[in-house]
Amino acid sequence: MRLESNNEFVIRFANVNGTGSASANNMFSKAVFRMGVPVSPKNIFPSNIQGLPTWFEVRVTERGYLGSRGDVDFVVAINGQTLKKDYDTLVPGGYFLYDSTKSLPRGLDRDDVIDIGIPLTQMTIDNFSNPRQRQLFKNIIYVGSLAYLLSMEFEVLTNMVKEQFAKKEKLIPPNIKALELGYNYAKEHFEDVCGLSVTRRDNVGDSIMIDGNAATGLGAVYGGATVCGWYPITPSTSVVEAFEKYAKTYRIEKDTGKNKFAILQSEDELAAIGITIGANWMGARAFTATSGPGLSLMSEFLGLAYFAEIPVVLVDVQRSGPSTGMPTRTQQSDIISAAYASHGDTKQVCFYPCDPADCFEMTAKAFDIAERLQTPVIIMSDLDLGMNDGMSRPFVWDDKVEYDRGKVLSADDLDNLTERWGRYKDVDGDGIGYRTYPGTHPTKGAYFTRGSSHDDYAAYTEDSEIYEACMERLVLKWETAKEIAPHPQIKYRDKKSKIAAIFYGTSAQASYEALDGLAGDGVKINTCRIKSFPFHPDIGNFIEEHETVYVIEQNRDGQMRTLLINEFNIGTKRLKSILNIDGMPMRARRIKRKIERMMSGESVSPFTTANSSAEGAEA
């Protein structure tokens, strides 16, 4: 028995970190994309620099499902440390390509797996003299073998090599030689062995491949950001690197060549958010980027920005916690800590992007909303989205867009006032006062910015009634935020159905696929994708329409479920958690199995990975 599938399979590369495998694996992924077939790559790497196992999973998906599917159909096993684990992940009928320079260890002898042994190490020894080249070209050789085994267009790969090394032409011949070595060996020894194949299609249209952090950095540029206060932390560092890259293209003064942007690397996360708050207070559009540990450290300053009403944009690329946790594994575990960041009664506006286009659009929009509401806005990305290339619709920007700077008084405005101006005075009934930039007027518009209790005119007070009125005024902003933040995406598969699912961020793509599968089995579940916090009233109405609502997310404690219960004051029994906490992206097949078993009345742990033999095989 062998697995047969065209343009629908999952292949996993098992390598050693620091061996140059990522470039070869990306080459394979992009070659599939260039053949017009949608693809979703996931790089699963350790937090050390070199030596530990790393995996690179590529989903080839003609149907366009870009979330993780679950299960593995083909393994390229290059790491001897993980051979047994990689072998066991294969589905029945799957394929196991390994370096046959040495024999497979005992115990790797399943009758339902097709072994494909290619002497990769020996081939590099025989054909290349440079030790470093031998290691690198071993990776290229297996890509060449895959080209034959999967019936790929070999010319696509050779063209990619020529493009990549156009400025280093001497590297083109040896790379193509390595591809040919792998291709010819597989052709000679494994003709008609593999039932998986990649056939050219036209299913990607004008889509692009880009990682979420790069899209976020570009979104910050288009959103008008000119200042970034920053302290590096995995997996958010490349957000700022991307911002710098794009700012050097779009933020350079033409006449002088001077930078019209500033990136300040600070001594810690506290200083980073402090720089960002200060720059926004001065009238710049500024942001910072961090991950869970940094968010914890920034919480007090976020409370200051909330209470002093200073716009701030913060990008949180979430990773597995708590504490240091697993720095290079993904999770959605900062949901509550971000929503209620800081002590006291605070609520922070949060956006939940699910793909690179969302990262671009939501980041650009965040600056407008932060300034309009005069409050922090937190972009809740995660490692899976931020650090993996994803297929995305093209980014669209209208050059006629004018930034919404919110309620800002000019010098003329101050001169024309007929009554006393108060920085925190609500004259429009929306909870938002009028602010000024420092230096706007030589004698008017100054005020004391403080995190302590204050009245409408920014004067310190401990008057209980004034403090209470200030806190109630801030709630009015919350109502405005519900309308101007991104609205939920609600889909009804069956208006009569009493079963629904809620998800957000990177859980969305796998959830849609799982629910499509259930619909194919006759179980129609309505869906709501949450895009922002505070929650739009439509979300509460959606929950009320259904008797059972599955909340699908990537954390242990069901944080979004808790947030929904708290904000809508609804009973706990209606909302059922479907959780994943292993640090890997949410998998569609696992979601489907868990919902099926929960619907059957079976007691199912919401997050364990070994609830069944089928799930136990998933990696």
Residues 473, 479, 481, 485: what is their CA dihedral angle, to the nearest 10 degrees?
180
Neighbours of 502 (CB within 10 A): 27
Residue type, 285: R
Residue 422, judged by CB atoms within 10 A of its CB (0-12, 13-18, 19+), counts as middle
Structural domains of the chain sorted by starting position, each given as residue range(s) with its CATH number in brackets: 5-197 (3.40.920.10), 209-392 (3.40.50.970), 411-484 (no CATH), 489-616 (3.40.50.920)
DSSP SS3 for 178: helix
Of the chain, the end-to-end C-alpha distance in Å amounts to: 23
Q: CA 467 to CA 126: how far, in whole Å?
A: 79
Q: Are strands 227-230 and 262-265 parallel, antiparallel or unpaired?
A: parallel
Decide: pTM greater than 0.85.
yes
C-beta of residue 79 within 8 angstroms of C-beta of residue 57: no
**Residue 602, pLDDT score:** 75
Q: Round to whole Å and give the CA distance between 232 and 239.
A: 10
Could you give the CA distance from residue 552 to residue 501 in angstroms, rounded to a whole number?
Answer: 7
Closest CA relative to residue 380, chosen from 563, 184, 519, 526: 563
Phi first, then psi: what are they for 474, rounded to 5°?
A: -65, -30
Express each pLDDT in 563-572 by its tens digit.
Answer: 999 999 998 9
Residue 616: per-residue pLDDT? 37
**Residue 338 Cα distances to 295, 300, 366, 376, 481, angstroms:** 7, 12, 15, 10, 16
Instruction: Round to whole Å and give the CA distance between 84 and 105.
Output: 9
Element spanning 91, H or E: strand 90-99
Before 38, cis peptide (omega within 30)?
no
- C-alpha 10/C-alpha 44 separation (Å) is 14
Q: What sign does the dihedral 103-105-110-112 (CA atoms) show?
A: negative
Q: What is the pLDDT of residues 544-554, one digit of tens each?
A: 999 999 999 99
The encoded tokens of residue 244 equal 């710098």
For residues 82 and 98, what is the distance between their CA atoms, to the nearest angstrom?
A: 12
Summary count for the chain: helices (H), strands (E): 20, 22
pLDDT of residue 135: 87
Closest CA to 224 of 368, 93, 332, 27: 368
Low-confidence stretches of the chain (pLDDT beneath 70): 49-50, 603-619
What's the rounded Cα separation, in Å, for the pair 485 and 122? 58
Q: Give the pLDDT of residue 606.
A: 56
Contacts with 600 (C-beta within 8 Å, 6 or more apart), sequence order: none
CA dihedral sign of residues 330, 336, 341, 342: negative
